[in-house]
Amino acid sequence: MARADEPKIAASSASVSLSPLAINVLWLLVTGFLVIVMQAGFAMVETGLTRSKNVTHTMTMTVAAFALSALAFFAVGFALMYGGAAGDVTGSHGPAPHEVSFRVADHDAGLFGFSGFFLAAPGADGALLAVFFSQAVLVVVAATIPTGAMAERWKFRAFVYFVVFMAAIVYPVFGNWVWGGGWLAQLSLGRGFVDFAGSSVIHLVGGIAAVAGCRVLGPRIGKYNRDGSLNVLLPHSVPLYMAGTMILTFGWFGLIAGRAVVANDLIVGRVATNALVASAAGAVAAMIYMWTLYKKPDPSFICNGLLAGLVAISAPCAFVTPLAAVVIGLIAGVLVVWSVLFLERATRLDDPVGAISIHGINGAWGVLALGLFADGSYREVTGLFHGGGSQLAAQVIGLVACVVWTFIMCWLFFQIVGIFVGNRVGPTTELQGLDVPELGVVGYFNEDPAAAKGSTSRAFAEPRAAAAPPPASENRFSIVIEGTDAATVKVIWNELCQPSDRPSDPDFVAVYPLMTLIKGNRFRFRGGQPDDVRARMERLVSKRLPEKAIRARIET
């Protein structure tokens, strides 16, 4: 049975000369590298939109998600998703060769692959590994999405288990159904369930996982008042989430263009253009909508709208006209605002970065939009508006399957983790901020001025209860200068204190460190030999007033 995702790479590797294959491998790798950049964007957006006391925790989650999910997908996920045979790029129609499937209506409906664990697949050559690489970076994106929605209260240990589970089981199995030749791709409706660049496989899976996670964790402390009214927990860094949004957008074009699988497929141009106009439309729609509704164009929603447009266009980007892409983006921009407001107010799902609305709601919208707007020009995928109602039916089935599978799996997993580890940090940790209790490092470290001078080794005494300062070890005494008025003495002393090119008077150098302060013509000293200091002071003053009989006397 013909599928929407047609074979590409292996076909070219088998029958064509080597150079197109090399180009294709290069294309998969370069676009995959771009997807890695998205991880920086995620880290910045999520951290910028949350509070400064959780900076380390939120950022570490995105970096750790990268590492953990890449390994989990390598060990288990890829085998489940493609049966070790690169699925939609193997060149074989129908389920992957090592597919666990059931027979329905006379054809195999694949459930998951079961070969190639740890990439130990026969024939795992460079081309196959390039496919693995381009897929592994997508898993990372999906696994990172819940970290934003669940930020500021998720126990790090629980997060580690979850990300591994997500990348090893949840994502790959649904991915198999859609991109691995599984039962959704084999649907007899339309061209089967179609998702070009992951509105469902990446974003809806991530968004639904975030819904389950938020439900389990509950809202952050202080988000809701006792009477149910909302509080604003302000984001701590606007520059961070703004820059992060643009970095995420940049990487996104790698994700979308990379799903075209081959560089010499000219659909890449349509894909990139549609993603551009849809994201722009999403940002503009969110901006104008907030502007008219609440008097000011909320900057965080402009960012959310941009990303919502990208999520929504991910599935249909190869199948719709640019004009349809704009419409899809505009709807996505409004949808993300509605969704955030609705989720916060009606469902009490506390999603600090809007991940559920961006990835979940708009992932669903993208899947449906394909069923509505596909114009039949690419792989004969035709939507409702172009006379293909059955494609929309396939999209609805895929959407429901994605939501049900992901939510049930994640919900169950959170329950199990909740029993053994606990999903949420304690209230003390949450109020203090997760950085130090969970990870031991403050995110923004203001250097102690004393430490900057390198004097951290000094040990400070333990405080004691005292009514008066302890007796000083040094002697204290005063020297009174007589024979002239106090003002003159002060002028002389001030001149001595001025910085000068000439070497200071040795008497001044000797007495200065001992001097505490001056009252009139009375100099107070701490430490030193009173007689010596007296003699030096007398010499200092009389040298400068030779015409006067200066006398210094000690007063204790």
Q: Which is nearer to another protein, 418 or 527 (CB)?
A: 527
Q: Would you count residue 294 as binding another protein (CB under 8 A)?
A: yes
With CB under 8 A, what is the number of residues at the site for another protein? 28
Binding segment for another protein (CB under 8 A), chosen from 70-78, 230-238, 243-251, 427-435, is 230-238
Min dist CB 489 to another protein, Å, is: 11
Q: Which is nearer to another protein, 5 or 538 (CB)?
A: 538
Window 348-387: residues binding another protein (CB under 8 A): none
CB 252 within 8 A of CB 56: no
Min dist CB 449 to another protein, Å, is: 15
Options 93, 104, 125, 231; binder of another protein; rule CB under 8 A: 231
Q: Which is nearer to another protein, 470 or 499 (CB)?
A: 499
Q: Which is nearer to another protein, 289 or 365 (CB)?
A: 289
Helix, strand counts (H, E) of the chain: 20, 6
Min dist CB 141 to another protein, Å, is: 24
Q: Would you count residue 245 as binding another protein (CB under 8 A)?
A: no
Min dist CB 150 to another protein, Å, is: 18
| Distance from C-alpha of 59 to C-alpha of 44, rounded to nearest angstrom | 7
Q: Would you count residue 234 as binding another protein (CB under 8 A)?
A: yes
Options 298, 350, 507, 538; binder of another protein; rule CB under 8 A: 298
DSSP state letters, 73-97: IIIIIHHHHHTTTTGGGSS-SSS-T
Helix axes 299-314, 322-342, angle to 10 degrees: 130
Side by side, which strands form the sheet with 515-519? 515-519, 522-526, 476-482, 551-555
Min dist CB 513 to another protein, Å, is: 11
Q: Which is nearer to another protein, 499 or 546 (CB)?
A: 499
Q: Which is nearer to another protein, 56 or 484 (CB)?
A: 484
Min dist CB 339 to another protein, Å, is: 11
Closest CA to 42 of 291, 261, 307: 307
Identify the helix (H) or strand (E) that includes residue 102.
strand 99-104
* Alpha carbon 55 to chain centroid, angstroms: 9
> How distant, in Å, are the alpha carbons of 111, 112, 246, 399 from that of 1?
17, 18, 41, 22
Min dist CB 519 to another protein, Å, is: 6
Min dist CB 337 to another protein, Å, is: 8
Window 490-519: residues binding another protein (CB under 8 A): 490, 493-494, 497, 515-519
Options 17, 122, 239, 295; binder of another protein; rule CB under 8 A: 295
E strands present in 290-343: none
Q: Which is nearer to another protein, 125 or 485 (CB)?
A: 485
Contacts 24+ apart (CB under 8 A), 465-468: none
Min dist CB 518 to another protein, Å, is: 5
Min dist CB 458 to another protein, Å, is: 21
Give backbone dihedrals phi and psi of 432, rounded to 5 degrees, phi first.
-70, -25
| Distance from C-alpha of 463 to C-alpha of 91, rounded to nearest angstrom | 77
Options 1, 221, 266, 293; binder of another protein; rule CB under 8 A: 293
| Distance from C-alpha of 294 to C-alpha of 296, rounded to nearest angstrom | 6
Closest CA to 405 of 80, 137, 13, 95: 80
Site string for another protein, 308-347 (x = CB under 8 A): -----------------------------x--xx--x---
CB 421 within 8 A of CB 414: no
Structure tokens at 213: 């996670």
CB 319 within 8 A of CB 383: yes
Residue with tokens 């990268």: 66
| Distance from C-alpha of 86 to C-alpha of 163, rounded to nearest angstrom | 23
CB 336 within 8 A of CB 282: yes
Q: Which is nearer to another protein, 235 or 366 (CB)?
A: 235
Closest CA to 524 of 454, 453, 473, 474: 474
Options 38, 130, 287, 290; binder of another protein; rule CB under 8 A: 290
Options 103, 226, 296, 453; binder of another protein; rule CB under 8 A: 296
Min dist CB 354 to another protein, Å, is: 8
Structure tokens at 472: 């000083």
Q: Which is nearer to another protein, 46 or 88 (CB)?
A: 46
Site string for another protein, 515-534 (x = CB under 8 A): xxxxx---xx----------
Min dist CB 250 to another protein, Å, is: 25
Options 245, 300, 339, 382; binder of another protein; rule CB under 8 A: 300
| Distance from C-alpha of 436 to C-alpha of 42, rounded to nearest angstrom | 22
Min dist CB 240 to another protein, Å, is: 16
**Binding residues vs another protein (CB under 8 A):** 230-232, 234-235, 290, 293-296, 298, 300-301, 337, 340-341, 344, 490, 493-494, 497, 515-519, 523-524
